[in-house]
């Protein structure tokens, strides 16, 4: 008999003491229905302030399929996923939220699709945004529209980070070692053949979302700055446009002075022009600043995450 294929499920967890046990049971049920595979859970504790780590230790002591990595502080979901990718050993690797918004029941179907061999990864997207504040949905839609226009990574509206992929794809993801990570863009950028599975939005079983509107907004700016240079081009273009306008204005003023003399008037319009140009200049500097700030963080080469505790002796503790 051929050796069983292994599947590693990466689960970033931040304050998930209520949801994690429910998630664990659901995954165990799915594992039982897949006798042809060995499922391993790779739980990543992203500096939780509740008892998430205690639960992880408990699960790991009871069940040898559970491995956990515990960060020294909260590094964010992106860092948690990256730590998972760096330390996942399975033939197939999946990323799932701990809150059951990524239904484990989809796993068998996803595995079956990969087994057919036509695709390298199966990703999920929710087709509804039920249970989400309307304003949040609105900005989310806007974000997807803008980023797809201006970036080379194609990012699907409603895409979740929940996906199952082959080893080769994981290697590609780990090779992208940028500090400012935006996984949705990274998945799109590396390519590979991806099958999309639509599903209905599910609300989290317990606990609450860790993403405030402001956090999401900053994350979307990260996405744009990481995968597009369009804002910089826009700044340059504005510069060119304004230079052209200024040139025409100079000509106009010289001609007017020669023909009609120069009665002092137009104080209000002068101030308007100064304020307007000042505003545009600051905006463009702000855009450049965003890129510079990202570059600054990149060149420091700080580690993405620091693991303070784990039950996996081979885990890469700092990366
Ligand atoms: N998460 C994390 N670090 C953070 C924030 C969130 O590891 O700083 C995890 C969280 O525990 C969950 C997943 O990322 O498993 C998605 O978070 P959440 O459900 O709050 O986001 P939403 O589904 O509302 O977008
Ligand atoms: Mg969630």
pLDDT of residue 148: 87
Instruction: Provide CB contacts within 8 A for 310, sequence distance 6+.
Output: 67, 68, 69, 70, 317
Q: What tens digit of pLDDT does each residue of 225-247 get? A: 888 989 999 999 998 998 888 88
Separation between Cα atoms, residue 154 and residue 144, nearest integer Å = 9
Ion ligand 2, residue ranges at CB < 5 A: 97, 99, 101, 204
Q: What tens digit of pLDDT does each residue of 295-307 get? A: 999 999 999 999 9
Partner residues linked to 45 by β-bridges: 13, 70
Instruction: Provide CB contacts within 8 A for 173, sequence distance 6+.
Output: 85, 186, 187, 190
Question: Count of H helices and E strands in the chain?
Answer: 10, 8
Q: pTM to 2 decimals? A: 0.87
Query: In a mutational test of the pocket of ligand 1, which residue from 97, 201, 220, 223 has the highest number of ligand atoms less than 8 Å from its CB?
Result: 97
80 Cβ closer than 6 Å to some ligand 1 atom: yes
Separation between Cα atoms, residue 63 and residue 25, nearest integer Å = 12
296 Cβ closer than 6 Å to some ligand 1 atom: no
Per-position pLDDT tens, the chain of length 319: 568 899 999 999 999 999 999 999 999 999 999 999 999 999 999 999 999 999 999 999 999 999 999 999 999 999 999 999 999 999 999 999 999 999 999 999 999 999 999 999 999 998 887 777 888 888 888 888 888 888 877 788 888 899 999 999 999 999 998 999 999 889 988 989 999 999 888 888 888 888 888 888 888 888 898 889 899 999 999 989 988 888 898 888 888 888 888 767 787 788 888 888 888 899 899 999 999 999 999 999 999 999 999 998 888 888 8
Contact 124, 102 (CB under 8 A): yes
Q: Whose CA is nearest to atom 16 of ligand 1?
A: 97
Q: What tens digit of pLDDT does each residue of 195-225 get? A: 999 988 888 888 888 888 888 888 888 889 8
- Nearest-atom number in ligand 1 for the CA of 80 is 7
14 Cβ closer than 6 Å to some ligand 1 atom: yes
């Amino acid at each position: 008999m051929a050796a069983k294929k292994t599947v590693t499920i990466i689960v970033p967890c931040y304050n998930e003491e209520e949801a994690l046990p429910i998630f664990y049971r659901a995954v165990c049920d799915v594992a039982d229905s897949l006798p042809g595979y060995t499922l391993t859970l790779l739980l990543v504790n992203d500096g939780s302030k509740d008892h998430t780590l205690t639960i992880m230790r408990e699960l790991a002591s009871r069940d040898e399929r559970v491995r956990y990595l515990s960060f020294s502080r909260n590094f964010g979901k992106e860092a948690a996923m990256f730590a998972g990718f760096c330390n996942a050993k399975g033939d197939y690797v999946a990323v799932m939220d701990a809150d059951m918004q990524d239904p484990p029941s989809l796993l068998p179907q996803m595995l079956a699709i990969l087994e057919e061999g036509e695709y390298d990864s199966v990703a999920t997207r929710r087709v509804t945004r039920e249970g989400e504040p309307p304003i949040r949905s609105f900005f989310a839609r806007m974000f997807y529209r803008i980023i797809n226009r201006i970036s080379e990574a194609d990012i699907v509206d409603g895409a979740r980070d929940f996906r199952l992929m082959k080893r080769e794809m994981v290697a590609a993801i780990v090779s992208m070692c940028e500090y400012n990570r935006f996984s949705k863009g990274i998945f799109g950028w590396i390519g590979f053949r991806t099958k999309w599975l639509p599903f209905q939005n599910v609300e989290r079983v317990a606990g609450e979302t860790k993403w405030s509107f402001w956090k999401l907004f900053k994350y979307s700016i990260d996405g744009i700055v990481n995968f597009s240079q369009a804002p910089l081009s826009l700044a340059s273009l504005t510069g060119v446009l304004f230079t052209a306008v200024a040139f025409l204005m100079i000509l106009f003023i010289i001609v007017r002075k020669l023909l009609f003399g120069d009665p002092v008037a137009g104080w209000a319009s002068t101030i308007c022009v100064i304020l307007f140009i000042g505003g545009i200049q600051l905006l463009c500097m702000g855009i450049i600043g965003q890129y510079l700030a990202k570059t600054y963080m990149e060149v420091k080469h700080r580690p993405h995450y620091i693991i303070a505790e784990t039950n996996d002796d081979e885990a890469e503790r700092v990366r």
